[in-house]
Amino acid sequence: MSAQPRRVLVLNGPNLGRLGSREPDVYGATSYSGLVEECTRLGKELGFAAEVRETNDEGEMIRWLHEAADGSIPVIINPGAFTHYSYGMRDAAAQRTAPLIEVHISNPYAREEFRHNSVIAAIASGTVAGFGIGSYRLALRALAEELNG
């Protein structure tokens, strides 16, 4: 009998549901459904049951982070615009009881100055940015390495 795959939440903030049509020169041509498929596929390959979610609602993101903390569920999070100002989300993420990896499709430091600040980075296990959808693949692989030693 094989072990149940480890549950992982892949959380996405505002406007990420518009991938593929939103500024493809910055965020690439992969659609949100393509991102979901890729995370689910690679997660399964790595022994994870990846649940990919997206919200434009800060309160919903905070509730998901509480769910992860209460269940010791690892998180990969692309907070989107919440990255730069959501102290409520940061406080929820700080309650983590499992690894939390921040991801960004673009490199925030190569963009507008307001994007250079992340309220999540200081409490995250690590940050992966600037590799397009590959940032999620790198984060999933880093998570697998961290959890499996």
66 annotated ligand binder:
no
Is residue 118 within 8 A of residue 80, CB to CB? The reply is no
Biggest CA–CA distance in the chain, Å, is 52
Query: 């390495």: which residue's tokens?
Result: 145
Tens of pLDDT along 102-115? 999 988 766 667 66
70 annotated ligand binder:
no
Non-local (6+) Cβ contacts of 89 within 8 A are: 58, 61, 62, 65, 79, 82, 119, 120
78 annotated ligand binder:
yes
- List, in order of start, the domains of the chain with CATH numbers: 6-148 (3.40.50.9100)
Tens of pLDDT along 65-82? 999 999 999 999 999 888
User: What is the distance between the alpha carbons of residues 140 and 38, in angstroms, rounded to a whole number?
Assistant: 11
Percent of the chain with pLDDT over 90: 68
Active site residues: 27, 104
Q: What is the pTM of this model?
A: 0.89
Look at residue 61 and tell me whether its pLDDT is greater than 60. yes
Q: Residue 66: which H helix or E strand, with range?
A: helix 58-71
